[in-house]
Chains A and B, each alone.
Chain A
Protein backbone atom coordinates (compact mmCIF):
# COMPACT_ATOMS: atom_id res chain seq x y z
CA UNK A 1 0.00 0.00 0.00
CA UNK A 2 1.02 3.60 -0.35
CA UNK A 3 1.63 6.45 1.99
CA UNK A 4 -1.15 8.28 3.79
CA UNK A 5 -3.17 10.68 1.70
CA UNK A 6 -2.01 13.71 3.68
CA UNK A 7 1.39 13.63 2.04
CA UNK A 8 -0.12 13.61 -1.44
CA UNK A 9 -2.54 16.41 -0.56
CA UNK A 10 0.25 18.54 0.87
CA UNK A 11 2.32 18.01 -2.28
CA UNK A 12 -0.68 18.89 -4.43
CA UNK A 13 -1.19 22.14 -2.52
CA UNK A 14 2.48 23.10 -2.80
CA UNK A 15 2.44 22.51 -6.57
CA UNK A 16 -0.79 24.52 -6.86
CA UNK A 17 0.82 27.40 -4.97
CA UNK A 18 3.91 27.33 -7.20
CA UNK A 19 1.69 27.40 -10.29
CA UNK A 20 -0.36 30.28 -8.92
CA UNK A 21 2.81 32.21 -8.12
CA UNK A 22 4.10 31.69 -11.64
CA UNK A 23 0.80 32.83 -13.09
CA UNK A 24 1.01 36.02 -11.04
CA UNK A 25 4.65 36.97 -11.59
CA UNK A 26 5.49 35.79 -15.11
CA UNK A 27 4.59 37.94 -18.11
CA UNK A 28 5.24 35.57 -20.99
CA UNK A 29 1.83 34.25 -22.03
CA UNK A 30 3.21 30.80 -22.90
CA UNK A 31 4.83 30.41 -19.49
CA UNK A 32 1.60 31.55 -17.88
CA UNK A 33 -0.19 28.76 -19.75
CA UNK A 34 2.33 26.26 -18.42
CA UNK A 35 1.65 27.50 -14.90
CA UNK A 36 -2.06 26.87 -15.47
CA UNK A 37 -1.11 23.32 -16.46
CA UNK A 38 0.80 23.01 -13.19
CA UNK A 39 -2.27 24.04 -11.24
CA UNK A 40 -4.45 21.56 -13.15
CA UNK A 41 -1.94 18.81 -12.38
CA UNK A 42 -2.02 19.70 -8.70
CA UNK A 43 -5.79 19.29 -8.80
CA UNK A 44 -5.34 15.95 -10.56
CA UNK A 45 -3.03 14.68 -7.81
CA UNK A 46 -5.65 15.66 -5.24
CA UNK A 47 -8.43 13.95 -7.23
CA UNK A 48 -6.52 10.68 -7.49
CA UNK A 49 -5.62 10.85 -3.81
CA UNK A 50 -9.26 11.32 -2.84
CA UNK A 51 -10.25 8.47 -5.14
CA UNK A 52 -7.89 6.22 -3.21
CA UNK A 53 -8.77 7.49 0.26
CA UNK A 54 -12.52 7.19 -0.31
CA UNK A 55 -12.22 4.08 -2.50
CA UNK A 56 -14.31 5.78 -5.16
CA UNK A 57 -13.57 5.67 -8.89
CA UNK A 58 -15.33 9.03 -9.41
CA UNK A 59 -12.13 10.90 -8.57
CA UNK A 60 -10.27 9.14 -11.36
CA UNK A 61 -13.12 9.81 -13.80
CA UNK A 62 -12.86 13.50 -12.95
CA UNK A 63 -9.13 13.47 -13.76
CA UNK A 64 -10.08 12.05 -17.13
CA UNK A 65 -12.36 15.03 -17.78
CA UNK A 66 -9.78 17.50 -16.49
CA UNK A 67 -7.33 16.10 -19.05
CA UNK A 68 -9.79 16.66 -21.89
CA UNK A 69 -10.57 20.20 -20.77
CA UNK A 70 -6.86 20.98 -20.41
CA UNK A 71 -6.18 19.77 -23.95
CA UNK A 72 -9.03 21.90 -25.37
CA UNK A 73 -7.90 24.90 -23.36
CA UNK A 74 -4.32 24.64 -24.61
CA UNK A 75 -5.43 24.29 -28.23
CA UNK A 76 -7.64 27.38 -28.14
CA UNK A 77 -5.23 29.37 -25.98
CA UNK A 78 -2.25 28.74 -28.22
CA UNK A 79 -4.42 29.56 -31.25
CA UNK A 80 -5.16 32.92 -29.66
CA UNK A 81 -1.45 33.45 -28.94
CA UNK A 82 -0.57 32.72 -32.57
CA UNK A 83 -3.33 35.05 -33.82
CA UNK A 84 -2.13 37.83 -31.52
CA UNK A 85 1.50 37.32 -32.45
CA UNK A 86 0.63 38.08 -36.10
CA UNK A 87 -0.38 41.57 -34.97
CA UNK A 88 2.14 42.32 -32.25
CA UNK A 89 5.70 41.14 -32.11
CA UNK A 90 5.69 39.97 -28.56
CA UNK A 91 3.94 37.48 -26.37
CA UNK A 92 4.12 39.12 -22.98
CA UNK A 93 0.93 40.05 -21.21
CA UNK A 94 2.02 43.70 -21.31
CA UNK A 95 1.76 43.73 -25.10
CA UNK A 96 -1.93 42.88 -24.96
CA UNK A 97 -3.44 46.18 -23.98
CA UNK A 98 -5.67 46.75 -27.02
CA UNK A 99 -8.81 46.19 -24.97
CA UNK A 100 -7.84 48.92 -22.53
CA UNK A 101 -10.56 51.56 -22.28
Chain B
Protein backbone atom coordinates (compact mmCIF):
# COMPACT_ATOMS: atom_id res chain seq x y z
CA UNK B 1 0.00 0.00 0.00
CA UNK B 2 2.82 2.44 0.78
CA UNK B 3 4.20 1.86 -2.72
CA UNK B 4 0.78 2.78 -4.09
CA UNK B 5 0.74 5.97 -2.05
CA UNK B 6 4.23 6.75 -3.32
CA UNK B 7 2.87 6.55 -6.84
CA UNK B 8 0.11 9.08 -6.35
CA UNK B 9 1.64 11.28 -3.68
CA UNK B 10 3.80 13.43 -5.99
CA UNK B 11 0.75 14.57 -7.92
CA UNK B 12 -1.11 15.58 -4.78
CA UNK B 13 1.73 16.87 -2.64
CA UNK B 14 3.57 14.83 -0.05
CA UNK B 15 1.51 13.53 2.83
CA UNK B 16 2.91 14.36 6.23
CA UNK B 17 2.85 12.24 9.35
CA UNK B 18 -0.02 14.33 10.68
CA UNK B 19 -2.07 13.56 7.57
CA UNK B 20 -1.43 9.85 7.95
CA UNK B 21 -2.22 9.93 11.64
CA UNK B 22 -5.45 11.88 11.05
CA UNK B 23 -6.57 9.44 8.40
CA UNK B 24 -5.69 6.42 10.54
CA UNK B 25 -7.61 7.70 13.56
CA UNK B 26 -10.63 8.87 11.56
CA UNK B 27 -10.75 5.64 9.56
CA UNK B 28 -10.65 3.50 12.72
CA UNK B 29 -13.40 5.61 14.26
CA UNK B 30 -15.51 5.25 11.12
CA UNK B 31 -15.05 1.48 10.82
CA UNK B 32 -15.56 0.79 14.53
CA UNK B 33 -18.71 2.92 14.42
CA UNK B 34 -19.99 1.20 11.30
CA UNK B 35 -19.45 -2.25 12.80
CA UNK B 36 -21.13 -1.01 15.96
CA UNK B 37 -24.22 0.07 14.00
CA UNK B 38 -24.55 -3.40 12.52
CA UNK B 39 -23.69 -5.42 15.63
CA UNK B 40 -25.47 -3.52 18.43
CA UNK B 41 -28.45 -5.30 19.90
CA UNK B 42 -30.02 -2.10 21.12
CA UNK B 43 -31.19 0.37 18.43
CA UNK B 44 -30.17 3.29 20.65
CA UNK B 45 -26.59 2.03 20.70
CA UNK B 46 -26.75 1.68 16.93
CA UNK B 47 -27.81 5.32 16.61
CA UNK B 48 -24.98 6.49 18.90
CA UNK B 49 -22.47 4.45 16.92
CA UNK B 50 -23.84 6.11 13.79
CA UNK B 51 -23.04 9.51 15.33
CA UNK B 52 -19.45 8.32 15.86
CA UNK B 53 -19.18 7.27 12.22
CA UNK B 54 -20.61 10.57 11.01
CA UNK B 55 -18.08 12.56 13.03
CA UNK B 56 -15.28 10.50 11.55
CA UNK B 57 -16.60 11.20 8.06
CA UNK B 58 -16.68 14.93 8.90
CA UNK B 59 -13.01 14.73 9.93
CA UNK B 60 -12.15 13.15 6.59
CA UNK B 61 -14.07 15.93 4.81
CA UNK B 62 -11.94 18.53 6.59
CA UNK B 63 -8.80 16.58 5.67
CA UNK B 64 -9.86 16.89 2.02
CA UNK B 65 -10.55 20.65 2.12
CA UNK B 66 -14.35 20.23 2.13
CA UNK B 67 -14.91 22.41 5.17
CA UNK B 68 -18.45 23.47 4.40
CA UNK B 69 -19.56 19.88 3.85
CA UNK B 70 -17.95 18.86 7.14
CA UNK B 71 -20.00 21.49 8.97
CA UNK B 72 -23.17 20.45 7.14
CA UNK B 73 -22.41 16.82 7.87
CA UNK B 74 -22.31 17.47 11.61
CA UNK B 75 -25.31 19.81 11.63
CA UNK B 76 -27.64 17.87 9.34
CA UNK B 77 -26.64 14.28 9.96
CA UNK B 78 -25.56 14.21 13.59
CA UNK B 79 -27.79 17.10 14.60
CA UNK B 80 -31.01 16.35 12.75
CA UNK B 81 -31.15 12.89 11.22
CA UNK B 82 -29.79 10.91 14.17
CA UNK B 83 -31.90 12.94 16.58
CA UNK B 84 -34.91 12.02 14.43
CA UNK B 85 -33.89 8.37 14.65
CA UNK B 86 -33.52 8.56 18.42
CA UNK B 87 -36.83 10.38 18.71
CA UNK B 88 -38.65 7.67 16.78
CA UNK B 89 -36.92 4.91 18.77
CA UNK B 90 -38.00 6.49 22.04
CA UNK B 91 -41.44 7.38 20.72
CA UNK B 92 -42.18 3.82 19.65
CA UNK B 93 -40.52 2.32 22.72
CA UNK B 94 -38.55 -0.19 20.70
CA UNK B 95 -35.35 0.48 22.60
CA UNK B 96 -35.28 -2.98 24.12
CA UNK B 97 -32.60 -5.46 23.32
CA UNK B 98 -33.08 -7.57 20.28
CA UNK B 99 -31.86 -11.13 20.03
CA UNK B 100 -29.65 -10.97 16.97
CA UNK B 101 -28.52 -14.55 17.48
CA UNK B 102 -31.64 -16.11 16.04
CA UNK B 103 -31.87 -16.47 12.31
CA UNK B 104 -35.37 -16.81 10.86
CA UNK B 105 -34.24 -17.57 7.34
CA UNK B 106 -31.80 -20.40 6.98
CA UNK B 107 -28.58 -19.58 5.13
CA UNK B 108 -29.49 -15.90 4.95
CA UNK B 109 -26.50 -14.73 6.96
CA UNK B 110 -23.80 -16.88 5.37
CA UNK B 111 -25.17 -15.97 1.95
CA UNK B 112 -25.23 -12.26 2.84
CA UNK B 113 -21.64 -12.41 4.14
CA UNK B 114 -20.43 -14.19 1.00
CA UNK B 115 -22.20 -11.71 -1.29
CA UNK B 116 -20.92 -8.68 0.61
CA UNK B 117 -17.35 -9.99 0.71
CA UNK B 118 -17.47 -10.61 -3.03
CA UNK B 119 -18.85 -7.12 -3.67
CA UNK B 120 -16.27 -5.48 -1.44
CA UNK B 121 -13.43 -7.42 -3.05
CA UNK B 122 -14.59 -6.39 -6.51
CA UNK B 123 -14.98 -2.76 -5.48
CA UNK B 124 -11.55 -2.68 -3.86
CA UNK B 125 -9.94 -4.29 -6.88
CA UNK B 126 -11.49 -1.72 -9.18
CA UNK B 127 -11.07 1.24 -6.86
CA UNK B 128 -7.45 0.75 -5.92
CA UNK B 129 -6.08 -0.51 -9.23
CA UNK B 130 -7.72 2.00 -11.55
CA UNK B 131 -6.23 5.33 -12.50
CA UNK B 132 -9.20 7.55 -11.80
CA UNK B 133 -7.95 11.00 -12.69
CA UNK B 134 -8.76 10.83 -16.37
CA UNK B 135 -11.55 12.04 -18.63
CA UNK B 136 -13.09 15.35 -19.54
CA UNK B 137 -13.26 18.20 -17.07
CA UNK B 138 -16.79 18.99 -15.96
CA UNK B 139 -18.30 22.45 -16.13
CA UNK B 140 -18.59 22.81 -12.38
CA UNK B 141 -15.24 24.50 -11.86
CA UNK B 142 -12.12 23.68 -9.88
CA UNK B 143 -12.25 22.88 -6.17
CA UNK B 144 -8.87 24.00 -4.85
CA UNK B 145 -7.48 27.53 -4.42
CA UNK B 146 -10.71 29.32 -5.27
CA UNK B 147 -11.39 32.88 -4.09
CA UNK B 148 -13.48 32.70 -0.96
CA UNK B 149 -12.53 29.09 -0.24
CA UNK B 150 -14.66 26.02 -0.75
CA UNK B 151 -17.81 27.71 0.58
CA UNK B 152 -17.78 30.32 -2.20
CA UNK B 153 -16.83 27.77 -4.84
CA UNK B 154 -19.63 25.42 -3.75
CA UNK B 155 -22.11 28.29 -3.62
CA UNK B 156 -21.22 29.47 -7.12
CA UNK B 157 -21.52 25.93 -8.42
CA UNK B 158 -24.86 25.18 -6.76
CA UNK B 159 -26.45 28.47 -7.80
CA UNK B 160 -25.24 28.43 -11.40
CA UNK B 161 -24.38 25.00 -12.81
CA UNK B 162 -26.61 23.02 -10.49
CA UNK B 163 -29.44 25.53 -10.18
CA UNK B 164 -32.12 23.23 -11.58
CA UNK B 165 -31.22 20.26 -9.32
CA UNK B 166 -31.15 22.73 -6.43
CA UNK B 167 -34.71 23.85 -7.21
CA UNK B 168 -35.72 20.21 -7.57
CA UNK B 169 -34.44 19.47 -4.07
CA UNK B 170 -36.66 22.28 -2.79
CA UNK B 171 -39.66 20.53 -4.35
CA UNK B 172 -38.45 17.22 -2.93
CA UNK B 173 -38.28 18.64 0.58
CA UNK B 174 -41.81 20.07 0.33
CA UNK B 175 -43.11 16.72 -0.91
CA UNK B 176 -41.31 14.94 1.96
CA UNK B 177 -42.85 17.28 4.53
CA UNK B 178 -46.36 16.78 3.11
CA UNK B 179 -45.81 13.03 2.99
CA UNK B 180 -44.62 12.92 6.59
CA UNK B 181 -47.66 14.91 7.75
CA UNK B 182 -50.05 12.63 5.85
CA UNK B 183 -48.37 9.52 7.20
CA UNK B 184 -48.24 10.74 10.78
CA UNK B 185 -51.91 11.73 10.87
CA UNK B 186 -53.99 9.47 13.06
CA UNK B 187 -56.50 7.55 10.93
CA UNK B 188 -60.08 8.55 11.73
CA UNK B 189 -62.70 6.13 13.02
CA UNK B 190 -66.04 5.67 11.24
CA UNK B 191 -68.00 8.19 13.29
CA UNK B 192 -68.83 5.64 15.98
CA UNK B 193 -68.09 8.18 18.69
CA UNK B 194 -70.81 10.52 17.45
CA UNK B 195 -68.34 13.29 16.95
CA UNK B 196 -68.53 15.99 14.30
CA UNK B 197 -68.34 15.14 10.64
CA UNK B 198 -64.93 14.52 9.10
CA UNK B 199 -63.20 17.79 8.41
CA UNK B 200 -61.29 16.68 5.36
CA UNK B 201 -62.07 14.38 2.46
CA UNK B 202 -60.51 10.94 2.88
CA UNK B 203 -57.42 10.22 0.88
CA UNK B 204 -55.69 7.13 -0.38
CA UNK B 205 -53.39 6.51 2.55
CA UNK B 206 -56.17 6.75 5.10
CA UNK B 207 -58.31 4.37 3.05
CA UNK B 208 -55.49 1.86 2.94
CA UNK B 209 -54.75 2.20 6.63
CA UNK B 210 -58.41 1.89 7.55
CA UNK B 211 -58.92 -1.19 5.42
CA UNK B 212 -55.88 -2.71 7.04
CA UNK B 213 -57.14 -1.74 10.49
CA UNK B 214 -60.57 -3.34 10.06
CA UNK B 215 -58.92 -6.58 9.28
CA UNK B 216 -56.61 -6.60 12.26
CA UNK B 217 -57.86 -4.36 15.03
CA UNK B 218 -60.35 -5.78 17.56
Contacts and interface: CB of A to CB of B under 8 A. Distances in A.
B25 interface: no
Given A64-B72, A72-B176, A17 B46 contact: no
A87 B218 CA distance: 11
Contacts of B144: 52, 55
Contacts of B158: 61, 64
A6 to B, nearest CB: 5
Interface string B111-147: 0110111011001100110001100011011111010
A70 B8 contact: no
Nearest to A27: B104
Contacts of B119: 17, 20
Contacts of A2: 12, 15, 19, 23, 63-65
A87 B209 contact: yes
Interface string B77-118: 100110011001101101000101000100011001101110
B16 to A, nearest CB: 8
A13 B72 contact: no
| Chain A interface category by residue count | 35 or more
Contacts of B34: 15, 18-19, 38
Contacts of A3: 5, 9, 15, 19-20, 23, 63
A4 B141 contact: no
Interface string A65-84: 10111111111101111110
A15 B80 CA distance: 21
Interface in B55-83: 57, 60-61, 63-66, 68-69, 72-73, 76-77, 80-81
Interface of B: 1, 4-5, 7-9, 12-15, 19-20, 23, 27, 30-31, 34-35, 37-38, 40, 43, 46-47, 50, 53-54, 57, 60-61, 63-66, 68-69, 72-73, 76-77, 80-81, 84-85, 88-89, 91-92, 94, 98, 100, 104, 108-109, 112-113, 115-117, 119-120, 123-124, 127-128, 132-133, 137-138, 140-144, 146, 150, 153-154, 157-158, 161-162, 165-166, 169, 172-173, 175-177, 179-180, 183-184, 186-187, 205, 209, 212-213, 216-217
27 contacts: A3-B19, A3-B20, A4-B4, A7-B23, A10-B127, A11-B27, A17-B117, A17-B120, A18-B35, A21-B116, A24-B108, A30-B89, A38-B34, A38-B50, A52-B65, A54-B133, A55-B144, A56-B137, A57-B140, A57-B154, A67-B72, A68-B169, A70-B81, A74-B81, A75-B179, A76-B180, A87-B209
